[in-house]
Structure 1
Amino acid sequence: MRVGILSPRPLATVGASVEYYGEGKMQVEGRSQRRNAFTLVELLVVIAIIGILVALLLPAVQAAREAARRSQCLNNCRQIGLAIHMYHDSTKELPPSRMWDGGFTWAGVVLPYMEEAAISNAADFTRNFRDQPDLVKETVVPTFLCPSRIHEQPLNYLKSEVIPYIQTPTGGAVNGAGSTRGIQGDYACVSSTFRSGNGGFDHVFDGAIILPKSLPGNRFKSRTKLSKIIDGTSKTLMVGENSYWLAARVSIYDGLDNPGAILGLGALSRVKSALPDGGRGVDFSRREGGSVSQVPKQYPGEGCESGAGCNAWFGGDHPGVLITTLCDGSTRTIQKDADLAILECFVTRAGEETYSLEDL
């Protein structure tokens, strides 16, 4: 019997080509396979490149964010300066650092001129701060807060509470100074150099916004106005960023313990006498009465735990600079390491000094 050989059908093959060379013969040629994955070395190189790019870009991103925060803080100071000027236009005098012991401070007095009608309408400015409704005491005002500072809580720490990150030069805890809850604020009026206790009240409180004259019936009369800024409104400080220590210890409205901040080489004995408990928690290892805080946010490990000048009236969380408002309403930055003797000249309203703003 003769058996014929049938031609086979093409086979369904994957990744191969089939050629026929006559009856019963075929050849399969494998198609070259392409590699579709990275090697481990290639992946590590890519990751390293991405890491380098991120490391290069991160400082620039952080710098851009800080520039935006600084711009917002400058705007806050500008708004505060405008409010004080509107108060002056209305009353023909500058606001007091506080109305009376326990009354409102300058920050509460200017609320009607900061578009905070709900708070100012609810307040009774003839009564002490502690007797105000919670709406007044606890409503946060964003204009009073620096965006670069992290706020653990919006209200001040009471006397029974320890202020975080602040210690005395001997390592002891520092408690809050307030007896009433109220919103914190990151700005303080500039009141005095405290250079001397001689020459009367106006000589001791030689700044722009100071304690007023007390009148019967919980009334007051300011001692200063723009016409008394003999040194020039463009060369006299009015408001500046306060330190974390000052912001945390008392409400920005509470005049019980916020008579205005000191900046300069003030006589140490005069400064101590102006502070609660003779200067509890303030570093007196340096002679300067009112220095500028050099430690942003003042966390442990940055010098603050040893009392290295962190418990000052003025200080900010912007790297290297402090934002201030001058009596003409303009805002500017000054260097945190500026000479305190020069800073004193820009605190006094009638010191007749001749320094230039460029010296700051």
Structure 2
Amino acid sequence: MGEFNGQQLTSISAKPVLKKGFTLVELLVVIAIIGVLVALLLPAVQQAREAARRTQCVNHQKQFGAAIHNFHAAYNGMPPATTGNTGLTLWAILLPFLEQRTLSDQLDMEASGGVDACTNAAHIGADAAAASSLNFNLLKEARISLFACPSRRAASDAVNNYNVPTGDYAVIIAGPQKWLFWSSPDTQQQALRVARAPGDTNLTNIPNGPVSAPVDFPNRGWRPRDDFSWVNDGLSNTVVIGEKHVTPNYMNKCCKNNHGPEGRDGFIFWNRSNGRGGYGEYWLAGSVNLGLARSAREGEELNVSSAPALGSWHPGVSNFLAADGSVRNLSVTIDPAVLIALGTANRGEVISLP
């Protein structure tokens, strides 16, 4: 209370009027606005996440490239794609150069090939059979994140129905053999070729092993077959590793339906391990002659001789490692002839990529 000119004044306090809650119409408008914002932001978030996953995939391949070059520096040659008909693959050979020396030091690299899944002593000798079996048992427990593309799965999920590790990268092959790439070592046209060996065995220097091959037979076991001079098309114009095509319905599945597409997710460390997580090489290698899958599901109904063996789950592109250690992002619409030219090491093609 107060006085002014003798008149009594009454204090009036102005209090804001607060509205309690929204009307139904207002609430629906707010929800609609939030929905529009989410619809606008979600694709951007998904694109950002996929870009990060693809970058991680590229980094995996760059590490493979560094490992191949470090192997070449150490042994004066490139690592072979596999050690022969049966046995260790490129991924096992590169382990010491991928910060996996603890595992690789336990492997017997001299017992790396043979027949009958490398465990039949009648074919490869008792010592070699025991060493090969030890290799297999060690590698089947390996779970290495580098071999899984994060756009497709986590490393912990890269295990097939035989409970052996699989992966999302393929050794590039080129030439007449589109999937069974150990049987014609002299006709292979890719950079990383299978180690040469007489017949179907590759145990020329192992005690108790086959004696049919001369002692000085070159390119045996895990040792280099070729050096960089084999890639005379140019290291930057020749791809050595690509992303393996695996369709969603057959991911983590292997070895059924007479070389059907569900066989692609096989044991990455072991070559041609019938009944032990793999069946043939089509889960290990990718032929450029079969083309590049344009989508995750392309060729799902086809068998291995006609389905694409290379392809990613990245929208519109697939990553490839070149022999110089760089990674190329190739469009899924690439000319098939250009892809074949990139996959061959010394045919003299002139390649022009956008």
Cα pair 1:97 1:106 within 8 Å, conserved: yes
The gaps in structure 1 that reach 5 residues or longer are: 1-30, 159-180, 266-289
Give how far 1:135 is off: 3.9
Q: Does 1:155 pair with 2:159?
A: yes
Give how far 1:188 is off: 1.2
**Distance (whole Å) between structure 1 residues aligned to residue 330 and residue 58 of structure 2:** 12
**Distance (whole Å) between structure 2 residues aligned to residue 307 and residue 133 of structure 1:** 30
Q: Which amino acid aligns with 1:190?
A: I
The 3 A distance-change label for structure 1 pair 34 and 190 is closer
Q: Report the TM-score, using the length of structure 2 for normalisation.
A: 0.70
Give how far 1:34 is off: 5.1
Give how far 1:123 is off: 1.7
The 3 A distance-change label for structure 1 pair 264 and 136 is closer
Specify the alignment match of 2:287 in structure 1: 263
Cα pair 1:323 1:334 within 8 Å, conserved: yes
The 3 A distance-change label for structure 1 pair 355 and 250 is same
**Distance (whole Å) between structure 2 residues aligned to residue 120 and residue 188 of structure 1:** 20
Q: Provide, for residues 172-210 of structure 1, a one-character-per-residue CA deviation record: whole Å limited to 9, x for no partner.
A: xxxxxxxxx5311111111214289xxx95763100011
Q: Does 1:204 pair with 2:187?
A: yes
**Distance (whole Å) between structure 1 residues aligned to residue 263 and residue 157 of structure 2:** 11
Q: Does 1:116 pair with 2:100?
A: yes
Q: Does 1:137 pair with 2:133?
A: no
Q: Provide, for residues 88-138 of structure 1, a one-character-per-residue CA deviation record: whole Å limited to 9, x for no partner.
A: 111111111110222100110010011001211222223346542644222
Specify the alignment match of 1:216 in structure 2: 204
Identity of aligned pairs, percent? Answer: 34
Cα pair 1:138 1:155 within 8 Å, conserved: no
Specify the alignment match of 2:277 in structure 1: none
In terms of fraction of residues, the more strand-rich structure is 1
Cα pair 2:168 2:244 within 8 Å, conserved: yes
The range that moved more, 334-343 or 186-195, is 186-195
The 3 A distance-change label for structure 1 pair 325 and 89 is same
In the TM superposition, 1:175-190 aligns within 5 A as 181-190=163-172
**Distance (whole Å) between structure 2 residues aligned to residue 249 and residue 204 of structure 1:** 26
**Cα RMSD for the two superposed structures:** 2.8
User: Which of residues 214, 227, 230 in structure 2 aligns to 1:228?
Assistant: 230
Q: Which amino acid aligns with 1:353?
A: E
The 3 A distance-change label for structure 1 pair 35 and 228 is closer
**Distance (whole Å) between structure 2 residues aligned to residue 216 and residue 184 of structure 1:** 29
Q: Which amino acid aligns with 1:43?
A: L
Q: Which amino acid aligns with 2:174?
A: S
Q: Which amino acid aligns with 2:267?
A: S
Aligned length: 274
Q: Provide, for residues 257-288 of structure 1, a one-character-per-residue CA deviation record: whole Å limited to 9, x for no partner.
A: 338634344xxxxxxxxxxxxxxxxxxxxxxx
**Distance (whole Å) between structure 2 residues aligned to residue 157 and residue 294 of structure 1:** 26
Q: Which amino acid aligns with 1:40?
A: L
The 3 A distance-change label for structure 1 pair 32 and 65 is closer
The 3 A distance-change label for structure 1 pair 70 and 234 is same
User: Which of residues 304, 323, 330 in structure 2 aligns to 1:327?
Assistant: 323
Q: Which amino acid aligns with 1:318?
A: H
The 3 A distance-change label for structure 1 pair 34 and 227 is closer
Q: Which amino acid aligns with 2:152?
A: R
The gaps in structure 2 that reach 5 residues or longer are: 1-14, 112-117, 119-131, 198-202, 207-219, 247-260, 273-279
**Distance (whole Å) between structure 2 residues aligned to residue 206 and residue 39 of structure 1:** 73
The 3 A distance-change label for structure 1 pair 341 and 203 is farther
Give how far 1:294 is off: 2.4
The 3 A distance-change label for structure 1 pair 246 and 225 is farther
Q: Does 1:192 pair with 2:174?
A: yes
Q: Which amino acid aligns with 1:255?
A: N
**Distance (whole Å) between structure 1 residues aligned to residue 66 and residue 17 of structure 2:** 75
Cα pair 1:211 1:222 within 8 Å, conserved: no
The 3 A distance-change label for structure 1 pair 305 and 194 is closer
Cα pair 2:299 2:308 within 8 Å, conserved: no
The range that moved more, 230-239 or 183-192, is 183-192
Specify the alignment match of 1:295 in structure 2: 295
Q: What is the SS of the residue equivalent to 1:249?
A: coil
Cα pair 2:185 2:195 within 8 Å, conserved: no
Q: What is the SS of the residue equivalent to 2:171?
A: strand
Q: Which amino acid aligns with 1:331?
A: V
Specify the alignment match of 2:48 in structure 1: 64
